[in-house]
Amino acid sequence: MFKNLFNNLFNKAIYTGLLTITLLASPQLSARGVYQSGPDFIAEVFTPQQPEAGVLWFNDNIREQAEKILGHRVLGLRVRYHHSAGKSAWILNEIGKEMPITIGVVIDQGKISSVKILAYRESRGGEVRYPAYMAQYQGATLTDSYKLDKSIDGITGATLSVWAVNKVAALALYYHSQVASQPQ
Amino acid sequence: MKKQLLAALIGLSFAATTQAATPSVEEMWEIIQKQQKQISALKNQLNTNDSRLTETEIIAEATISAVEKIALEPVSVSKTHIGGYGELHYNNLEKDNGSGDKNEVDFHRFVLFTSHQFSDSIRFFSELEVEHSIAGDGQVGEVELEQAYIEWDLANNKTAKAGLFLMPVGILNETHEPDTFYGTERNAVEKNIIPATWWEAGATLNGELSPGLSYDVAAHSGLFLDDGEYKPRDGRQKVGKAKADDMAFTGRLKYTAIPGLELAASLQMQTDMHQGEGDKIAGTLFETHLAWQKDDFQLRALYAAWDFDDAINSIKAGADEQTGFYIEPSYKITEKMGVFARYSEYDNTAGSAADSAVEQMDIGMNYWLHPNVVFKIDYQNQDNSAGTGSDGINLGVGFSY
């Protein structure tokens, strides 16, 4: 019995080992980690122009609306962004399930022109960073109820990550709309 | 004389006048010195104002940064997280053969998640559950540790786990917060065939082969069928002094490259379901599923099949094949309300010619009061050849955080 058991285990160990080696030798693709730094993202967005750095200060109205969009408190006094010729770029963090996701959002003339995951730290839901997912946000604007006017198809088992990106995309659109109303 | 005196007086007066209008060189020097002092003083004052302005800006920046740091600190430095979920059910069911009704209210599950981030690449995750509200000798419920593992990133695209973890099989086994699925009770196929919720102890490796194609391989403790038992659900040892004479292996491939779509297939192998006690019975589970969401429409479909050695038929005829499937379309009428229908069928003795399948039709509605708080109502119609199927209404309230 022990011999059989040993043989079985040995065979399985060999198969598992081979499978593991095959998988380990597979192309390197990152699932979790930092994909792009903030400065690199800004440079990529505005190239060849040099964007100006801006600061949006939170007055009571902005803070209240931002909190409604995110569904939780907004801490801090301001948010920094970059802009040039009607286009603005925002780097915002939002927790998916447990860990913050760093998201870059570019708004051009009041519409989302691109969304990019700059860092992903959750165990599940890394699919949100794929271009196919991010492309869904292109052209989205804000409805009167401060939500995206486009439906975003999600990820089974990682709903919270998709919600986090949806909320940040809506928040960047809202911040962009508020920039004009503040003295720079 | 008078003229001389007058001339002298005029001369004096002129000299005095000339002296007042044009200062001497010494006087001029004195005036310049005074003015220079004044200029320097004014310059200094200006410089002081300038440096005060710069200083004010620095102080403002430092204050704002400090306020933001203090305000954000509880979020940014918290390495330990607590979460959880719970679901309260009310079942009002009637047996087809009139052998008994079920009219019960049950706090089915109350769960606490605790996780801790040791470093950027090493973390711990756990799930502790109280089932049926009360546990202990002679009580109806149980306290169970369903997850407790260390996870660490080996590389950007590879993660390893060691400890007690949920099997990478099916739709609900790993993601079963009540706000994530339709129906008050979990579907009967995953419960009775897979058998969800199913956890084992061991090690696993997860990674990506290409964007949207991921794999899991796991070596872990296995099921144990005690005397007279033949259903996979009876074999769950729950990693409590579990027999570990025979290990098991699980692999999964998952495709998620298209937004809204998940396609997956899992294979689980165990060489002896009796763990060295009695006849050796090997078992293999194959499971595949689809979860597809397009706008407000969602479709879930799953097929699972256990294939055991024929020796199991001496325990229960036809138990060598145990299969099940379900299909569940759903539609979100509004952001908060969705309706669903599910047809499911499973058979724990599918290897026999006798009609032993259990068929179930569910229709119902979820109402999300908040994205993580859900109320559920559904009607179930269950049929089997023995006439022991249950029909009736289920109500539920669930939450996760």
| pLDDT over 70 (residue B95) | yes
- What residue ranges do the domains of chain A occupy? 32-179
B126 to chain A, any CB pair closer than 8 A? The answer is no
Q: How far is residue A153 from each of residues A30, B258, B261, measured CA to CA in Å?
A: 22, 9, 8
* Residue B184 CB neighbour total at 10 angstroms: 26
Q: With CB atoms and an 8 Å threshold, state whether B259 touches A133.
A: yes
Q: What distance in Å separates the CA atoms of residue B43 and residue B248, rounded to the nearest whole number?
A: 85
Render pLDDT for B115-163 as a digit per residue (tens, 0 to 9): 999 998 899 999 999 999 999 999 999 999 999 999 999 987 889 999 9
Q: What is the pLDDT of residue A116?
A: 96
Instruction: Read off the pLDDT band of A8 (50, 70, 90).
Output: low
- Nearest-CA neighbor of A89 among A138, A136, A52? A52
pTM of the model: 0.81
Q: Which residues contact B293 (CB under 8 A, 6 or more apart)?
A: A153, A154, A156, B260, B261, B299
Own/partner pairs, A43-46, CB within 8 angstroms, 24+ separation: A45/A82, A45/A87, A45/A89, A45/A104, A45/A106, A45/A114, A46/A82, A46/A84, A46/A87, A46/A89
* B180, B211, B245 member nearest A29 (Cβ): B211
B291 to chain A, any CB pair closer than 8 A? The answer is yes
Q: Which residues of A touch B (CB under 8 A)?
A: 1, 4-5, 8-9, 12, 16, 19-20, 23-24, 26-33, 75-78, 95, 97-99, 121, 123, 127, 130, 132-133, 136, 151-157, 159, 163
SS3 A71: coil
β-bridge partners, B82: B114
SS3 B197: coil
B43 to chain A, any CB pair closer than 8 A? The answer is no
Q: What is the mean pLDDT of residues A78-88?
A: 93
Q: What is the mean pLDDT of residues B358-366?
A: 98
| pLDDT over 80 (residue A167) | yes
- What residue ranges do the domains of chain B occupy? 27-78, 84-400
What class, spelled out in words, does domain B84-400 have in CATH? mainly beta
Q: What distance in Å separates the CA atoms of residue B66 and residue B56, rounded to the nearest whole number?
A: 15
Contact B186, B396 (CB under 8 A): no
Interface with chain A: mutation pick from B254, B271, B373, highest number of A CBs within 10 Å: B271
Contact A155, A125 (CB under 8 A): yes
Render pLDDT for B272-297 as a digit per residue (tens, 0 to 9): 999 999 889 999 999 999 999 999 99
Interface with chain B: mutation pick from A4, A23, A147, highest number of B CBs within 10 Å: A23
* B68, B258, B291 member nearest A76 (Cβ): B68
Contact B376, B365 (CB under 8 A): yes
To the nearest whole angstrom, how far is the Cα of A88 from the nearest Cα of chain B?
Answer: 23
SS3 A134: helix
Render pLDDT for B212-232 as a digit per residue (tens, 0 to 9): 999 999 999 999 999 999 999
Contact A66, A76 (CB under 8 A): no
A23 CB neighbours in chain B (<8 A) are 205, 207, 209, 215, 217
A152 CB neighbours in chain B (<8 A) are 259
Render pLDDT for A23-40 as a digit per residue (tens, 0 to 9): 444 444 445 778 899 999
Q: What distance in Å separates the CA atoms of residue B132 and residue B104, rounded to the nearest whole number?
A: 11
Tell me how far the alpha carbon of residue B43 is from its chain's centroid: 64
Q: What is the mean pLDDT of residues B39-57?
A: 82
Q: With CB atoms and an 8 Å threshold, state whether B208 touches A78.
A: no
Q: How far is residue B135 from each of residues A20, A44, B103, B108, measured CA to CA in Å?
A: 41, 58, 21, 12
Backbone angles phi, psi at B261, to 5 degrees: -115, 135
State ipTM: 0.76
B331 to chain A, any CB pair closer than 8 A? The answer is no
